[in-house]
Amino acid sequence: MLRTLSRSALPRTVLRPLALATALAFGAAAMTANAQTVPAPISSNGTLLSVSAHAEVQRVPDIAHLSTGVVTRAADAKAAMQANAEQMNKVVAAIHGAGIAERDVQTSGVNLNPQYNYADNQPPTITGYEARNTVDVTVRDIGKLGGIMDVLVGVGANQIHGPSFEVDDKESAYDEARRGAIEKAQARAAMYAKTLGMKVRRIVSISEGNGGFSPPVPMMAMARMEKAGADTSISPGENTLSVDLDVVFELGR
């Protein structure tokens, strides 16, 4: 009659090979997983060369940002806010009337502050209230920017800050700078290798640092007074976008 042995009843000589096989299987799997994360080894006779390269490209900005709004004052807070709301509604309507999309207009701040009178040896007293409402506006046709600013002033905006400029398609500009930086790094590595009587075998790693862009020198929009009805003069200039790369090469004989 056959009997079924429980696991605890199995001989030790059977359990040990099973445990060993299991351990070997897990060990092999772990070694395989680790091997996938280990970088390719450097040749024993190879030399590592680290090169830094910087490249820039220039683009004419095609987007402008400005903030505009209304400041009103009144004897009491409610009157200051009401007057501000009425005037600000005209400003926002003018912004949309100039062809600015809803997504390109964002309220950046609504503020109400008391106004004080300070006298010697006397506590400050409230003389009235000041209300402010400001919106950030993105203009995607820079050619219309000067005219839009003049329209805003014409409907009652008494606060305008900016403009600042940016390039809409920054990634293509950065890609051009990246190509320029890697070409500089390769040329520099080839020079070092030739000087040392060696050859560039391969690129070991590439690291992109913080590049960025440099906006044009800020300028205030000046109204040209010599010609009635002339738009405010705007000069967007050029933006500089840059990329920094650190590239490690392997050199060899």
Specify the long-range contacts of residues 168-173, CB closer than 8 Å, at least 24 apart: 168/62, 168/63, 168/140, 170/213, 170/241, 173/57, 173/59, 173/241
Please give the helix or strand (H or E) that residue 122 lies within, else none. none
Rounded Cα gap, residues 174 and 243, in angstroms: 7
Per-residue confidence (pLDDT) for residue 133, from 0 to 100: 97
Rounded Cα gap, residues 68 and 106, in angstroms: 11
Residues of the chain with CATH 3.30.70.2970: 63-166
Per DSSP, the three-state class of 26 is helix
Residues of the chain with CATH 3.30.110.170: 47-60+169-252
Cis check: omega of the bond before 163, within 30 degrees of 0: yes
Question: Mean pLDDT of all residues in the chain?
Answer: 82
Per DSSP, the three-state class of 18 is helix
CATH class of 63-166: alpha beta
The Cβ of residue 132 has, within 10 Å, a number of other Cβ atoms equal to: 17
Angle, helices 145-154/77-97, rounded to nearest 10 degrees = 150
Q: Tell me the pLDDT of the chain (253 aa) as tens digits.
A: 444 444 444 444 333 444 444 444 444 444 433 333 345 566 657 899 999 999 999 999 999 999 999 999 999 999 999 999 999 999 999 999 999 999 999 999 999 999 999 998 889 999 999 999 999 999 999 999 999 999 999 999 999 999 999 999 999 999 999 999 999 999 999 999 999 999 999 999 999 986 665 655 443 333 333 334 567 888 889 999 999 999 999 999 9
CATH topology of domain 47-60+169-252: Translation Initiation Factor IF3 (3.30.110)
The Cβ of residue 177 has, within 10 Å, a number of other Cβ atoms equal to: 22
Per-residue confidence (pLDDT) for residue 125, from 0 to 100: 93
Please name the amino acid found at residue 86. Answer: E
In this predicted model, what pLDDT tens digit does every residue of 91-133 receive, in sequence order?
Answer: 999 999 999 999 999 999 999 999 999 998 889 999 999 999 9
Rounded Cα gap, residues 123 and 75, in angstroms: 19
Per-residue confidence (pLDDT) for residue 121, from 0 to 100: 87
Instruction: Give the contacts of 205 (CB within 8 A, at least 6 positions apart).
Output: 247, 248
In this predicted model, what pLDDT tens digit does every residue of 150-171 receive, in sequence order?
Answer: 999 999 999 999 999 999 999 9
* Beta partners for residue 207, in sequence order: 246
Per-residue confidence (pLDDT) for residue 212, from 0 to 100: 66
